[in-house]
Amino acid sequence: MKTFILIHGSWHSSWNWHKVVPILEKLGHKVLAIDLPGMGKDKTPIKEVTLKSTVEYICKIIDDIEDKVILVGHSKNGIMISQAAEYRSEKIEKLIYIAAYLIPNGKTQAEYSVKDINGALKPFVIKFPASNSHTLDPAIYKEGLYHDCEDEIFEMAKLILSHESVATGITPLELTEENYGSVPRFYIECTIDKAVTPYIQQKMYTETPC
């Protein structure tokens, strides 16, 4: 039996994994799909959310688990599992990136996002300077995020997607080979992803091999 911690991507929350969790549990694994601070049911004010506070939240969950965990990150929040691995390398069995941002030391998610010029979402990101947050225009939900999903997923998303912190994406990661580099990494490339395109996925896992 393994313990999986599932980390959702931008604007999403733990509901993202509602079809994945039962599959893993049926195989006998323990699965925690969490809401990151300010997302889903977590009511932390978005303007208070930082990369540091988010990773500390993940680390606290890891600390409460006796055994090693498998940390899974989707999309933007690959950055969270990388930074958590720097702080808790001894508690993480492996890192799984699912079409996720795999960013090297000293770089930010935003630096790599801007290189993904064919991504479908950028023109539809709505910014809220007062809360230092952004969200996604529902007009792009279907084409940009759920083009290969059942309609029920799309309908759920229209009710659930929310704002997210800008700060987390513009904060450089602090990673070392001694800690982060000691944790095995695996990358699942999503070949028809329109949010994090195959181009940027390939660039990232080529620069940081998995």
Note if the pTM is more than 0.85: yes
Task: State whether residue 199 is helix, strand or coil.
Answer: helix
Pull the structure tokens for residue 192. 């028809």
Quote the pLDDT of residue 5: 98
Q: Which of 10, 75, 133, 165 is catalytic?
A: 75
* Continuous segment of H or E residues that includes residue 151: helix 151-160
Q: Where are the alpha helices (DSSP H) in 27-77?
A: 51-63
67 vs 84: CA distance, rounded Å: 16
Distances (CA, A) of 3 to 71, 75, 158, 160: 9, 21, 30, 26
Strands (DSSP E) contained in the chain are: 3-7, 30-34, 69-74, 92-98, 125-128, 133-136, 164-165, 185-188
Structure confidence at residue 205 (pLDDT): 98
CA distance 111 to 147: 26
To 5 degrees, how large is the angle CA 120–CA 123–CA 127? 125
Give pLDDT, residue 1. Answer: 93
Beta bridge partners of 165: 133
Summarize pLDDT for 29-75 with one digit per residue, the tens: 999 999 999 999 999 999 999 999 999 999 999 999 999 999 999 99
Whole domain around residue 158: which residue ranges? 3-207
Q: How many domains does the chain have?
A: 1
Residue 75 bears catalytic tag: yes
Token output for 182: 């000691």
Cα–Cα distances (Å) from 120 to 58, 74, 77, 197, in that order, read: 29, 17, 18, 9
> For all residues of the chain together, what is the average pLDDT?
97
Question: Which ranges in 39-77 belong to alpha helices (H)?
Answer: 51-63
Domain CATH for 84: 3.40.50.1820
DSSP 8-state secondary structure symbol assigned to residue 17: G
pLDDT value for 7: 98
pLDDT given for residue 80 in this prediction: 98
